Structure formats: C-alpha cells, structure tokens
Structure 1
Amino acid sequence: MKTDMNDIDKMIKDALSDEEAKFYEDLNEPSLINKLGDVYKGQLGWLAMIMNFIMVLFLILGIYSIVNFWQAPETLEMIRWAVVGIISLLTIGILKLYFWMQMDKNDLKRELKRIELQIAALNNRLDK
C-alpha cells in the first residue's frame, strides 16, 4: 500500500471531528527559530546556555589561532596553531550537533503528542 503523506494527513483529518480537526491544524510545525528557542526552554536549557558560551570561547580561540597561524615564522609553529584551530572548529561542530539533536528530540516529542491526541480521540469515540 503506497500512499502519499498528504493522503495520510487527509485521512486523519477526515477521521477527526470538526473540533478535533481544528485543534490538529493548530499543531503546525514551528519555524527553525522557534525550535532553537525551545532548546533553551527545556529542562536542559541551562546546559544549552553553557554550551553556547563554550562555543563562543572556542570561536575566539579558533580565530586567534588562524591569525597566529598566518603570522608564524616557522613551520612547526604553524602546525601547532593549525592543530589548535582545527580542534577548536571540530569542538564547535560537535556542540552544534548537540543543538540539532535536541531540536530533533523535541520534534519527535511533538509527533508523539500528536499520536497520543489521535489515540485519545479514537478512545473517546469508542467509549460513546
């Protein structure tokens, strides 16, 4: 059975009552900015703030190491500054991955809540 996502959404809306369908429509996908803001509002919001601060520190270290890399007179010193710059950029990338994973986790929670809503609506119909 091959169905399109829009067909599935239409089938879900048809199965819901008018009030439930209106509520379901209000559960639209938030924008990227709102998703990013939700990372700071959760239980680990304090950790996200600390990670942001650490990212800024590693960005400053990365810029500093790049500047010193270009001003280094010897090859060995250039290699050292390049390693520091690469490590700082990798650290920033890893911390950014944490934020994306948290946004994905919030998306999954939102979808599970939608499924819970649909199960509760189905349960109400079966009880009547």
Structure 2
Amino acid sequence: MNDEQIRKIIDGPQDYEDSKEDTLRSMLSDFYNRKMLSTVIFIWVWGLVVVAGATYCAIRFFDAEQTRSQIMYAALFVCCVEFLALTKIFAWQLIHRNGILREIKRLELRIAELSGGRS
C-alpha cells in the first residue's frame, strides 16, 4: 500500500464520515442523520416521557397533604431526573461514536502502512 492509496482512503468519503473535524456541529450532524433516526426517536421519546413524569411528580409533591406522599413524589422526581441524565449520557456516547470510528480507521490504515513498508 503506497502513500497515495492511503491518502485516498483517508480523504475519501466513508459511509460514517461526513466531516473530519470533531466540532460540536459535526458531531450533531453525524448524530441527526438517516441512519440514526430510530435511535434519535427513541432518545427523544424517553426524554419527553421522563420530563413529563418529573413534572407530574413535582406538581403532585406540592399538592400532597401527607409527608409520606411528599417523600414518595420527591423520590420519584429524583429518579426521573436521574433517568433523564442517563439518557443524555447515552445520547452523548452515541454522538462520539462516529468520531471514534473515524480515528480507529485512521489507526488501522497507519498500521497497514507501517507493516506494508517492512515486508
């Protein structure tokens, strides 16, 4: 494998690579594309369900007359907020996945270049 072939592979369009820079805009455009549509819908639906549950628990917390009910709604509110944070972390990991795949591909090409030059 010569330098020209390696450059063509690195600079050429891959199915997962739209941009070569790791800016927030490029990561979001990688995330909100057709291939990730089902995942994006899944994350947004769960996010909206959890926000609705947290809002319901907050409203019921202030309407509750017993301390026992207030503790229950406060605990449910905290659980909803924690689940929302976990959903955000899951989405953030999926956003970074394409950049990591791009770097692994570059590393594989460099290893192929180094091993090809020695044989």
TM bucket normalised to smaller: 0.5 to 0.7
Q: How many residues of Structure 1 are paired with residues of Structure 2 in the alignment?
A: 108
Give the aligned residue type for 2:104. Answer: L
Contact 2:43 2:91 in 1 (8 A): no
Which among 98, 109, 118 is matched to residue 106 of structure 1?
98
Q: Secondary structure at the match of 2:21?
A: coil
Where does residue 73 of structure 1 map in the other structure?
Answer: 65
CA deviation map 1:82-114 (0-9, x unaligned) = 122112111111111111211232221010222
Q: 2 CA distance for matches of 1:69 and 1:50? A: 28
| Root mean square deviation, CA, Å | 3.3
CA deviation map 1:67-93 (0-9, x unaligned) = 221232210110111122112111111
Contact 1:40 1:46 in 2 (8 A): no
Q: 2 CA distance for matches of 1:33 and 1:109? A: 17
Where does residue 30 of structure 1 map in the other structure?
Answer: 22
What TM-score do the two structures reach when normalised by structure 1?
0.64
> If you compute each CA radius of gyration, which structure gives the higher value, 1 or 2?
1
Is 1:51–2:79 an aligned residue pair?
A: no
Contact 1:55 1:92 in 2 (8 A): yes
What TM-score do the two structures reach when normalised by structure 2?
0.68
Q: Secondary structure at the match of 2:32?
A: helix
Identity of aligned residues (%): 22
Unmatched runs of 5 consecutive residues or more in structure 2:
13-18
